[in-house]
Amino acid sequence: MLYIGIDLGTSAVKLLLMDEEGSIKNIVSKEYPLFFPHPGWSEQHPEDWYEKSMEGIRELTEGYDRSKVAGISFGGQMHGLVALDDRDEVIRPAILWNDGRTGEETDYLNDVVGKDRLSQYTANIAFAGFTAPKILWMKKNEPENFARMAKIMLPKDYLAYRLSGSFCTDVSDASGMLLMDVKNRCWSREMMDICGIKEEQLPRLYESYEIVGTLKKEVAGELGLSADVKVIAGAGDNAAAAVGTGTVGDGMCNISLGTSGTIFISSRKFGVDEHNALHSFAHADGNYHLMGCMLSAASCNKWWAEDILKTKDYAAEQEAIHALGENNVFYLPYLMGERSPHNDPKARAMFIGMSMDTTRADMTQAVLEGVAFGLRDSLEVARSLGVSIERTKICGGGAKSPLWKKIIANVMDMKVDVIESEEGPALGGAMLAAVGCGEYPDVETIAKKIVKVVDTVEPEPELVEKYEEKYSRFKKIYPTVKCLYR
């Protein structure tokens, strides 16, 4: 049988076709626009997601026996607010995860409602990118749109709705809305009251591997697929990427170097750190995970190379970098504010430490190291909880750089396992579809079968020591300059 994984990203939708053995048959990517109507705002049109996904599925399955497609599932950009009216029409462009307009609402939730109460209700505190602050923003700034809102959903769930007619979400993606009681895997009545919404406006909750429906007949006809194709709930992009890298079960770690950067630690036990610096979410394997998320990771390198240096030859820019651990230039990777662990939407990127002999390579190196140091900030929070991690998987566009992987291994002092297929959320989505269709009994079983480590980047003691000193300096920069962002 064949399974389709759809990774609904920020810049493109990536579709992957996998057989029951885990062999990847085809991959297709379709881009769509991102809109910034005001400084700090970030929006997309849900119709673009649907049109490009439909186009992509047709292209993905071209030349294959479409009657063998058994299931479709998703990994999707998290936290976005998709609002539909009672006629199922999209009310306004989707407000995305990296949108920073909800500063006042986030402050209200954290300071007036209170972080302790939020943590009690949802296991998390408010971050500007989360969905609940966006709902409060709509309530205040677009009351007419708020009044029309009949269905509230996340980006990938809009696709599931259009494909199957099922108004659904999964527990991993819903964990990032600040509307779900993560520990008990149900909607929080207290948060619904705070946001002024009713439970019927929220989708039904599923585990990531559960079937939510089948393809609508008209959709199946358009795609040339059977109307018996099952649609499986799927997961938030980071949880789906974790499935795709085998970061399931207890005590596993994955670092994602995508547009945003994450450090993801799977656990069978529910847990919350004292200051809620890390997200405490439900996982796609039926358990839980801790996650630190930085808003700009590989996007920092993209910005630096393409917008500033005017090149797309990333490898060439990194060729001149040799003196690891000896760079005197530091870079704060906060192009769009920061989430973990600082929770500061006003934070911005900066270089510090340049001198007359600073080179272009030094600046590029500082960008790569700054992202690694930012991820280490979250790792330190996990370590403060007694979590002991000795190795990590790695995925995302940035993981294609051997140099960046070496920097990560030594900054973190962890072994970095490179897997055979770095397809992240799209592969995770296809794996969840296979579990949902009964091909495998559970997520851990398919992960052990499919995910193969092909290389390991080992930390080097001398380099680890150098980076320890550099990190001790890096972590003093943000507390020193944060007053300048106000």
Is there a binding annotation on residue 79?
A: yes
Angle, to 10 degrees, between the axis of helix 155-164 and the axis of helix 46-61?
60
CB count, 10 Å around CB of 25? 15
End-to-end, the C-alpha distance of the chain in Å comes to: 55
- Return residue ranges of the chain for CATH 3.30.420.40: 2-238, 248-421+452-486
User: Do the bridges between strand 279-282 and strand 288-294 make them parallel or antiparallel, or are there none, so unpaired?
Assistant: antiparallel
Q: Give yes or no for a contact between 359 and 320, defined as CB atoms under 8 angstroms apart.
A: yes
* Residue 429 CB burial class (10 angstroms; 0-12, 13-18, ≥19): buried
Q: What is the pLDDT of residues 420-432, one digit of tens each?
A: 887 889 999 999 9
* CATH code of the region 2-238: 3.30.420.40
User: Do the bridges between strand 69-76 and strand 350-352 make them parallel or antiparallel, or are there none, so unpaired?
Assistant: unpaired
Domain 248-421+452-486, CATH among 3.40.50.1970, 3.40.50.1100, 3.30.420.40, 3.60.15.10? 3.30.420.40
Instruction: Supply the Cα-derived Rg of the chain in whole angstroms.
Output: 21
Is there a binding annotation on residue 78?
A: yes
Q: Give per-10-residue mean pLDDT for the chain (486 aa).
A: 97 97 97 94 97 98 98 97 98 94 95 96 93 98 98 98 98 98 98 98 98 98 98 96 93 90 92 87 96 93 97 96 96 93 91 98 98 96 86 91 98 95 90 98 96 96 98 98 92
What pLDDT, on a 0 to 100 scale, did the predictor assign at position 100? 87
Contacts of 290 (CB under 8 A, 6+ apart): 264, 265, 267, 271, 273, 278, 279, 280, 281, 382, 385, 387
Q: Give yes or no for a contact between 182 and 227, defined as CB atoms under 8 angstroms apart.
A: no
What pLDDT, on a 0 to 100 scale, did the predictor assign at position 385? 82
What residues act catalytically? 237
Chain-centre distance for alpha carbon 219: 28
